[in-house]
Structure 1
Amino acid sequence: MATTRKNKQSSLERSASVCTCINLRRSSMAVTGLYDRYLAPSGLNISQFSLLKHLTALGPASVSELALEMRLDRTTIVRNLKALEHSGYVEDTSAEGSRNRCLTLTESGRTTYNDAAELWEEAQRFLQESLGNGELQILTALLSKIEDLGL
Structure 2
Amino acid sequence: MKNNEKKPSICNCLNLRRASAAITKIYDEKLAPSGLTVSQYSILKHLKLFGPVSVSDLAIKIRLDRTTLVRSLKPLETASLIIDVSQKGTRNRQLQLTEKGIEKCIEAEYLWNDVQNFIEQKLGKENIEKLTSLLSIIERMGS
Taking structure 2 as the reference length, what is the TM-score of the superposition? 0.97
Shift of 1:10: 2.0
Change (3 A) 1:122 1:84: same
In the alignment of these two chains, the number of paired residues is 142
**In structure 1, distance between residues paired with 2:42 and 2:85:** 20
Matched, 1:10 2:4: yes
Shift of 1:59: 1.8
Structure 1 match to 2:32: 40
Matched, 1:129 2:116: no
Matched, 1:29 2:15: no
- SS of 2:92's partner is coil
**In structure 1, distance between residues paired with 2:7 and 2:73:** 37
- SS of 1:91's partner is strand
CA RMSD of aligned residues (A): 0.9
Taking structure 1 as the reference length, what is the TM-score of the superposition? 0.92
- SS of 1:10's partner is coil
Matched, 1:108 2:125: no
**In structure 2, distance between residues paired with 1:90 and 1:10:** 43
Structure 2 match to 1:5: none
- SS of 2:4's partner is helix
For 1:41, the aligned partner's letter is P
Matched, 1:117 2:109: yes
Q: Any gaps of 5 or more consecutive residues in structure 1? A: 1-7
Matched, 1:144 2:136: yes
- SS of 2:83's partner is strand
**In structure 1, distance between residues paired with 2:63 and 2:31:** 22
Structure 2 match to 1:4: none
Q: Any gaps of 5 or more consecutive residues in structure 2? A: none
Q: Percent identity?
A: 50
Shift of 1:9: 5.4
Structure 2 residue corresponding to 1:60, chosen from 52, 56, 68: 52
**In structure 2, distance between residues paired with 1:79 and 1:10:** 37
Matched, 1:20 2:12: yes
Matched, 1:49 2:41: yes
**In structure 2, distance between residues paired with 1:96 and 1:136:** 46
**In structure 1, distance between residues paired with 2:4 and 2:93:** 47
- SS of 1:99's partner is coil
